[in-house]
Structure 1
Amino acid sequence: MASIEITPEERAELTKALTDALTPLAAAIRSRQSGLSAARMWAADPLEVTLSVLAAWKVVDTEVKELTALAAATAGSYGANYEQLGTVWGMTRQGARKKWPDAVPRPAAAGARGGSSIELFGGTAELTQDQRSGGWAWTAEGADKTRGAAEDGTWYATKEEAAAHAGAFLREHVATLP
Structure 2
Amino acid sequence: MTTVEITPEQQAELAKALLDALDPLAAAAVRSRASGGLPEERMWAAEPVEVTLSVLSAWKLVDAEVKRLTALAAATAGSYGASYEQLGAAWGITRQGARKKWPDAVGRPGPRPGSLELFGGAAELDEAVDGWRWTATGADGAVGEAAAGYPTREEAAAHAGAFLAGHAVPGTRCQSERRSGHTVSV
Aligned twin of 2:151: 135
CA distance in 1, matches of 2:149, 2:40: 55
- Structure 2: gaps of 5 or more residues: 114-131, 134-147, 153-186
Give the match for residue 70 of structure 2. Answer: 68
What residue number does 1:173 align with? Answer: none
Alpha-carbon shift at residue 12 of structure 1 (Å): 1.8
Q: 2:42 corresponds to which letter in structure 1? A: R
Segments ≥4 residues shifted beyond 6 Å: none
CA distance in 2, matches of 1:68, 1:87: 14
SS in 1 for 2:105: coil
Question: Displacement of 1:71 after TM fit?
Answer: 0.7
For 1:21 and 1:100, the matched residues in 2 are separated by: 27
Aligned to 1:34, what secondary structure does the other structure show? Answer: coil
**In terms of mean alpha carbon deviation, does 60-69 or 29-38 score higher?**
29-38
Q: Describe the SS at the equivalent of 2:41.
A: coil
Matched, 1:13 2:20: no
What one-letter code is carried by the residue in structure 1 that aligns with 2:59?
W
Which of 92, 95, 99 is residue 93 of structure 1 equivalent to? Answer: 95
Change beyond 3 A, Cα 1:52–1:133? same
What is the Cα-based RMSD across aligned positions, in Å? 2.7
Number of aligned residue pairs: give it: 120
* Alpha-carbon offset, residue 135 of structure 1: 1.8
Partner of 1:55: 57
What is the letter of the counterpart of residue 20 of structure 2? D
Specify which structure has the higher proportion of strand: 2
1:165 maps to which residue? none
Greater C-alpha radius of gyration: 2
1:133–1:38 Cα change, 3 Å: farther
Distance 1:43 1:69 in 2: 38
- Structure 1 gaps of 5+ residues are 112-129, 137-178
Q: CA deviation at 1:37?
A: 5.0
- TM normalised by structure 1 equals 0.58
The aligned amino acid for 2:21 is A
The residue number in structure 1 matching 2:124 is none
1:32 corresponds to: 32
Offset at 1:85?
Answer: 0.7
Q: Counterpart of 1:142?
A: none
Q: CA shift at 1:78, angstroms? A: 0.4
Q: What is the alpha-carbon distance in structure 1 between the residues aligned to residue 111 and residue 11 of structure 2?
A: 45
Identity %: 66
